Structures are given as structure tokens and as C-alpha cells.
Amino acid sequence: MSVVSIGDWIITLILMAIPLVSLIMLFVWAFGNGTSESKANWAKATLIFYLIGIILVIVFWGSIAALVGLSALGS
């Protein structure tokens, strides 16, 4: 198992700050060949958290839309 260096983590964090690049790189690191096991696991966990966040946002805004719709019907 290869160890991810501090410099590699710094580059990783810089790439994660670029919006579209971060998403693409997460998939490359999570499912591509040649990535260390620790970085692949980190990328998979990050993708899972992104998915959970997207689901929560959809539920939240769906609830808001439903409340606004019910409020409009009640008026």
C-alpha cells in the first residue's frame, strides 16, 4: 500500500477547490487505476457525502415548494 504524501494531499485539496474539476477528479480517484487505496476510499466517501447532500437539498426544496403550494391553495 502506497502512502499519499503531504504534497499530493495539497495538490488534491487545490484541485477540490475548482468546481467542475473536483467532481471529475473524485470519480477518477475513486474508480481509476493507479490511485492509492487511501485516496480512493477518501474519494468514494466524499462522493457519498455529495450524494447525501444532494438528496437533502432536494427534500428540503421539495418541502418548501409543497408548503408554498399549499399556502397558495389556502388563500
Output the pTM of the full model.
Answer: 0.83
Q: Give the Cβ contact number of residue 16 at 10 Å.
A: 15
Average pLDDT value over all residues in the chain: 94
pLDDT digits (tens, 9 = 90+) for 6-42: 999 999 999 999 999 999 999 999 999 999 999 999 9
**What does the pLDDT read at residue 75?**
61
73 vs 26, which has greater pLDDT? 26
State residue 73's pLDDT score.
81
